[in-house]
Structure 1
Amino acid sequence: MPGEPHVSVFTGLPAGDKLVELWLPHNESVELLELRTDAPVNAAPTAGRIGAHHGSSISQGANSSMPARTWPAIAAHIGVQLHNLSLGGGALVDPFLAPVIRDTPGDLISVKLGINLVNLDLMRMRAFESAVHGFLDTIRDGHPDTPLVLVSPIFCGIHEDTPGPGALDPDTFKSGRTKVIATGNREESKQGRLTLRTIRAALALLAERRSADPNLHHLDGLQLYGQADAAEHPLPDALHPDTLTHSLIAERFAAHAFSDSGPFGGKTVTGRARCPSAGQS
């Protein structure tokens, strides 16, 4: 539901040149109506590498207390200007999203796929594998040599072996803290209905089949948050990590991706997005 316009005023800033960053809410749509200053301002030059990330509501930051504490934002603090292209409930290997990544300037790319496809019971394994290949092919049209990390889902007990669709658990409505449940049939995963376990295996095999691409890297999401972590850091709604767990995932992703031997470590700029030619969609 649309809200009333709100005016935010920032006062008491120190004199002289300064860098000002405005972090807009990560869990609401915001329309900037007007921006006023009492002195001239200039766009800050881009510092460091540019990174693009696409994922689900987990990457968008659901259950995180603030936009700066979502796991992609924390991981990007290592000298990366982040374009977070994550969509809550919308990481569905949609054909429209791959061209957005293709045409977005960037030096680093990460794509985290899986959970929403199970949540919505959107497609079967045959369609999933083909869709991911096409998704990556489109990204590579604009970023042929850019380091790209393909991340599989983190642990989520309700969907590890049980297909979707997901639904709110009515037994939790009165508690004030609703949880999500899986409503599918475990046996139907044998007929191609997706679960997190089958998606992880498929993405690992897919990355192996694309081994001719030296800059494509696969990261098992269980390395970021696994079954053992669920006991110590349970998902409050059985689906999304809380703020503390976002930090844990970010630390592990950064340790993997930005280490000297990691896909994003020790690399110079490998090329920004190439603009598609006239008529290319």
Structure 2
Amino acid sequence: MSTPHVPANGSSPTSPAEGWITTPLTEELLRGALELERTAQGVQPHRLPARARAQAADGQLAMAEAQTSGVRLVLRTRATAVELDVLRTKMAYEGAPPRPDGVYDLLIDGEPAGQTRAPDGNVMLMNMATGSAELQPGPVGTVRFTGLPGRDKRVEIWLPHNEMTQLVALRTDAPVTPVASGDRRVWLHHGSSISHGSDAASPTTTWPALAASLGGVDLVNLGLSGSALLDPFTARAMRDTPADLISVKIGINLVNTDLLRLRAFAPAVHGFLDTIRDGHPTTPLLVVSPILCPIHEDTPGPSLPDLSTLDEGRLRFAAMGDPEERATGKLTLNVVREELARVVRQRAAEDPYLHYLDGRELYGEADHAELPLPDALHPDAATHRRMGERFAELAFGADGPFTG
């Protein structure tokens, strides 16, 4: 399974030498991705399969599903040093404050053991006014962790939740073996940028990753920034993905894209849930409504960047709809919550494994007073931690729908 290779020194791979081992990057070593695409550089983890990607010519979705939220290498080894060559693609926005580089989290036997960032890589420069994007190519970089204990151990390297990451090479100073799947229950979750990770501090501190850790489950995170839109191809991907527990967080993207009207909303929810149930008829399924977001509680979308705040070095969003438009069927978060609760009540009469959670139990009025949304739309790192802890308590705790 392994071939000798020298560890990289600096930001670029070096030539082979005796004593180091290169291990092929295969599906066996990865968790959280639904598919691996072979590229000229190596492999690109995808969180939606090719068939789903082919059914939506949408740049936002393509970017979101290729960002590696919840994707991690999981292996057993006695290695004291691990190196990973990567080609990352970082997002940047013209006129906006620079975004922090993506973080790689190291866990040893489930415990945090280090963090680092990758040098170099591509930059995708976005123009928020026009929606255009320009790819600025860059070289492969190297992520390294050294000083690991020399005993046999479970090693996890969580890839950045907010960057696209192509994996080029894995090197260690001792052999590695895959960790067999099935050692934990699999939790499959789908949601918006908040589930994707928005402004979380690192990949293991997004609220779903924190909740999964506290619940002792294996996360597959289909949080797709800007793309939780009840797309049939996402439902089919969830239908076809093995899972012991499933949750769907529905609402904010439908409002802030102004995509649906009330007439279409409930049937679309029914269709999405029907498709999931085709593959998982008795799996615990939790429907989660939106967390509190004051700009959209009673005001429809769309929500757009307030470019005037860029001069102050910050980005904020504003709701561009009119509250009066609710009468014409435009969605607000309160309307979404009422409809979701009604749909779940209706279906639960025949589906005892279906459950509902009001998102304001994860983040509500009191939380907003203490931890307001910095850009009026996305939670910060402290709020991700609070949401993860609350979800773990409500879903995995006593009498929760995901209780083991």
**2:151 aligned counterpart, secondary structure:** coil
**Shift, 1:128, TM fit:** 1.3
Output aligned runs, 1:162-201, within 5 Å: 162-201=299-338
CA distance in 2, matches of 1:94, 1:183: 24
Q: What residue in structure 2 maps to residue 104 of structure 1?
A: 241
Q: What is the letter of the counterpart of residue 50 of structure 1?
A: V
Q: What residue in structure 1 maps to residue 197 of structure 2?
A: 61
Aligned residues: 266
Say whether 1:139 aligns with 2:286: no
**Shift, 1:213, TM fit:** 0.4
Greater fraction strand: 2
Say whether 1:37 aligns with 2:172: yes
**Shift, 1:16, TM fit:** 2.6
The alignment's TM-score, normalised by the length of structure 2, stands at 0.65
Compared with structure 1, are the counterparts of its residues 189 and 6 closer, same or farther at alpha carbon in structure 2 (3 Å cutoff)? same
The one-character-per-residue Cα deviations of 1:25-75 (angstroms, maximum 9, x if unpaired) are: 101111111222332211112322110000000001111111111000000
Q: What residue in structure 2 maps to residue 79 of structure 1?
A: 216
Higher alpha-carbon Rg:
2
CA distance in 2, matches of 1:85, 1:223: 21
Compared with structure 1, are the counterparts of its residues 204 and 17 closer, same or farther at alpha carbon in structure 2 (3 Å cutoff)? same
Q: What residue in structure 1 maps to residue 365 of structure 2?
A: 227
Contiguous gaps of at least 5 residues in structure 1:
267-281
Q: What residue in structure 2 maps to residue 50 of structure 1?
A: 186
Contiguous gaps of at least 5 residues in structure 2:
1-123, 125-136
CA distance in 1, matches of 2:164, 2:263: 34
CA distance in 2, matches of 1:127, 1:33: 44
Q: State which of 139, 152, 168 in structure 2 corresponds to 1:4.
A: 139
- Percent of aligned positions with the same letter in both sequences? 59
Greater fraction helix: 1
Say whether 1:213 aligns with 2:351: yes
RMSD of aligned C-alpha atoms? 1.1
**More deviation in 151-160 or 125-134?**
125-134
**Shift, 1:3, TM fit:** 3.8
Output aligned runs, 1:228-267, within 5 Å: 228-266=366-404
More RCO (CA 8 Å, sep 6+): 1
CA distance in 1, matches of 2:186, 2:138: 33
CA distance in 1, matches of 2:262, 2:178: 45
Q: What residue in structure 2 maps to residue 93 of structure 1?
A: 230
Q: What is the letter of the counterpart of residue 196 of structure 2?
A: Q
The alignment's TM-score, normalised by the length of structure 1, stands at 0.92
